Amino acid sequence: MHGLHSAVAALRILLEGTGLVADKRSSGLGQTFILKEAGAASAAPASTLPRNGMAELFSEDGYAGLVQMRIWQALCADARTRPGSYTSLLRFYLETDGRIGGARLLGSSGDARRDAALLHAVRGVRIGRLPPAAIARQPLTIMVAPSAPGVGPQCGQQQGEG
Protein backbone atom coordinates (compact mmCIF):
# COMPACT_ATOMS: atom_id res chain seq x y z
CA MET A 1 0.00 0.00 0.00
CA HIS A 2 1.45 3.37 -1.01
CA GLY A 3 0.71 6.79 0.40
CA LEU A 4 1.14 8.94 3.44
CA HIS A 5 0.10 7.31 6.70
CA SER A 6 0.34 8.15 10.37
CA ALA A 7 2.88 6.13 12.33
CA VAL A 8 0.08 4.07 13.90
CA ALA A 9 -1.56 3.36 10.53
CA ALA A 10 1.78 2.49 8.91
CA LEU A 11 2.59 0.08 11.73
CA ARG A 12 -0.84 -1.54 11.40
CA ILE A 13 -0.24 -1.98 7.64
CA LEU A 14 3.22 -3.47 8.25
CA LEU A 15 1.83 -5.99 10.72
CA GLU A 16 -1.04 -7.16 8.49
CA GLY A 17 -0.88 -10.91 8.01
CA THR A 18 1.86 -11.45 10.61
CA GLY A 19 -0.40 -12.55 13.45
CA LEU A 20 0.88 -9.62 15.52
CA VAL A 21 -0.69 -6.39 16.71
CA ALA A 22 0.89 -3.32 18.28
CA ASP A 23 -0.21 -2.42 21.80
CA LYS A 24 0.34 1.33 22.28
CA ARG A 25 1.84 2.37 25.61
CA SER A 26 2.79 5.77 26.99
CA SER A 27 5.70 6.35 29.31
CA GLY A 28 7.90 9.17 30.52
CA LEU A 29 9.98 8.61 27.38
CA GLY A 30 7.03 9.00 25.02
CA GLN A 31 4.87 6.50 23.19
CA THR A 32 6.04 2.97 22.53
CA PHE A 33 4.48 -0.11 21.01
CA ILE A 34 4.66 -3.65 22.31
CA LEU A 35 4.11 -6.31 19.68
CA LYS A 36 1.71 -9.05 20.75
CA GLU A 37 -0.10 -11.92 19.17
CA ALA A 38 -3.39 -10.89 17.59
CA GLY A 39 -6.23 -11.92 19.88
CA ALA A 40 -4.09 -11.87 23.04
CA ALA A 41 -5.62 -9.55 25.61
CA SER A 42 -3.33 -6.56 26.06
CA ALA A 43 -3.95 -6.50 29.81
CA ALA A 44 -3.10 -10.18 30.30
CA PRO A 45 0.17 -10.80 32.10
CA ALA A 46 2.84 -12.36 29.90
CA SER A 47 2.88 -15.45 32.08
CA THR A 48 -0.72 -16.23 31.08
CA LEU A 49 -0.09 -16.02 27.34
CA PRO A 50 0.48 -19.25 25.45
CA ARG A 51 4.20 -20.00 25.06
CA ASN A 52 4.14 -20.83 21.37
CA GLY A 53 7.06 -18.68 20.28
CA MET A 54 5.62 -15.24 19.63
CA ALA A 55 4.27 -14.80 23.16
CA GLU A 56 7.63 -15.86 24.62
CA LEU A 57 9.46 -13.53 22.28
CA PHE A 58 7.54 -10.44 23.30
CA SER A 59 6.77 -11.16 26.95
CA GLU A 60 8.34 -8.91 29.57
CA ASP A 61 11.05 -11.48 30.26
CA GLY A 62 11.08 -12.60 26.65
CA TYR A 63 13.70 -13.53 24.17
CA ALA A 64 13.65 -10.23 22.27
CA GLY A 65 14.90 -8.34 25.31
CA LEU A 66 17.62 -10.93 25.86
CA VAL A 67 18.75 -10.63 22.22
CA GLN A 68 18.86 -6.83 22.47
CA MET A 69 20.81 -7.01 25.74
CA ARG A 70 23.41 -9.42 24.30
CA ILE A 71 23.89 -7.26 21.21
CA TRP A 72 24.14 -4.12 23.34
CA GLN A 73 26.78 -5.77 25.55
CA ALA A 74 28.83 -6.72 22.48
CA LEU A 75 28.63 -3.19 21.06
CA CYS A 76 29.53 -1.58 24.39
CA ALA A 77 32.58 -3.84 24.75
CA ASP A 78 34.42 -2.18 21.84
CA ALA A 79 35.23 1.54 21.64
CA ARG A 80 34.66 1.46 17.86
CA THR A 81 31.09 0.18 18.19
CA ARG A 82 30.08 1.78 21.48
CA PRO A 83 26.62 3.32 20.87
CA GLY A 84 26.16 7.01 21.41
CA SER A 85 27.13 9.11 18.42
CA TYR A 86 26.13 7.17 15.32
CA THR A 87 23.15 5.48 13.68
CA SER A 88 23.24 2.09 12.03
CA LEU A 89 20.68 -0.50 10.98
CA LEU A 90 21.55 -4.20 11.15
CA ARG A 91 19.67 -7.26 9.89
CA PHE A 92 20.34 -10.76 11.20
CA TYR A 93 18.65 -14.01 12.12
CA LEU A 94 18.96 -16.37 15.06
CA GLU A 95 20.47 -19.78 14.49
CA THR A 96 18.64 -22.65 16.17
CA ASP A 97 21.53 -22.94 18.67
CA GLY A 98 21.21 -19.30 19.84
CA ARG A 99 24.00 -17.78 17.76
CA ILE A 100 23.45 -14.79 15.49
CA GLY A 101 23.72 -15.59 11.81
CA GLY A 102 23.50 -13.72 8.54
CA ALA A 103 24.41 -10.33 10.02
CA ARG A 104 24.52 -7.53 7.47
CA LEU A 105 24.19 -3.77 7.42
CA LEU A 106 21.02 -2.21 6.07
CA GLY A 107 22.25 1.27 6.97
CA SER A 108 25.86 2.34 7.36
CA SER A 109 27.15 4.23 10.38
CA GLY A 110 29.03 6.48 7.96
CA ASP A 111 32.41 4.97 8.88
CA ALA A 112 33.59 1.87 6.98
CA ARG A 113 35.88 0.73 9.83
CA ARG A 114 33.08 1.09 12.37
CA ASP A 115 30.73 -0.80 10.04
CA ALA A 116 33.21 -3.70 9.84
CA ALA A 117 33.58 -3.67 13.65
CA LEU A 118 29.78 -3.62 14.07
CA LEU A 119 29.39 -6.70 11.91
CA HIS A 120 32.24 -8.47 13.69
CA ALA A 121 30.74 -7.70 17.11
CA VAL A 122 27.21 -8.81 16.18
CA ARG A 123 28.44 -11.99 14.48
CA GLY A 124 30.18 -12.96 17.71
CA VAL A 125 27.06 -12.69 19.88
CA ARG A 126 25.84 -15.83 21.63
CA ILE A 127 22.41 -15.43 23.22
CA GLY A 128 22.82 -18.18 25.80
CA ARG A 129 19.32 -19.62 25.28
CA LEU A 130 17.77 -21.39 22.35
CA PRO A 131 15.36 -19.17 20.41
CA PRO A 132 11.66 -19.98 20.21
CA ALA A 133 11.09 -22.14 17.13
CA ALA A 134 8.74 -19.51 15.69
CA ILE A 135 11.58 -17.01 15.25
CA ALA A 136 14.62 -19.18 14.52
CA ARG A 137 16.07 -18.27 11.11
CA GLN A 138 13.57 -15.39 10.69
CA PRO A 139 14.99 -11.99 9.68
CA LEU A 140 15.30 -9.54 12.58
CA THR A 141 16.39 -5.91 12.50
CA ILE A 142 17.97 -3.73 15.16
CA MET A 143 18.71 -0.03 14.98
CA VAL A 144 21.55 1.56 16.89
CA ALA A 145 20.78 5.26 17.31
CA PRO A 146 22.50 8.18 19.03
CA SER A 147 21.65 8.17 22.70
CA ALA A 148 20.76 10.93 25.09
CA PRO A 149 21.99 10.72 28.68
CA GLY A 150 19.57 8.72 30.80
CA VAL A 151 17.42 7.64 27.83
CA GLY A 152 17.44 4.03 26.80
CA PRO A 153 20.19 1.52 27.52
CA GLN A 154 23.56 2.97 28.44
CA CYS A 155 27.01 1.42 28.25
CA GLY A 156 28.75 1.12 31.60
CA GLN A 157 31.68 3.47 32.14
CA GLN A 158 34.24 0.67 31.91
CA GLN A 159 32.82 -0.89 28.74
CA GLY A 160 34.12 0.16 25.35
CA GLU A 161 36.91 2.35 26.66
CA GLY A 162 40.33 1.76 25.25
pLDDT of residue 50: 43
The top-level CATH class assigned to 62-154 is: alpha beta
Range of weakest confidence among 74-78, 79-83, 139-143: 139-143
Stretch 2-27: mean pLDDT: 71
Asked whether residue 105 carries a pLDDT value surpassing 60, the answer given is yes
Tens-digit pLDDT profile for residues 25-35:
654 444 566 67
* Mean confidence (pLDDT) of the chain: 76
Say which residue, 32 or 24, is predicted with more confidence.
24
Q: Are 89 and 141 contacting, i.e. CB atoms less than 8 angstroms apart?
A: yes
Give me the residue spans of the domains in the chain: 1-41, 62-154
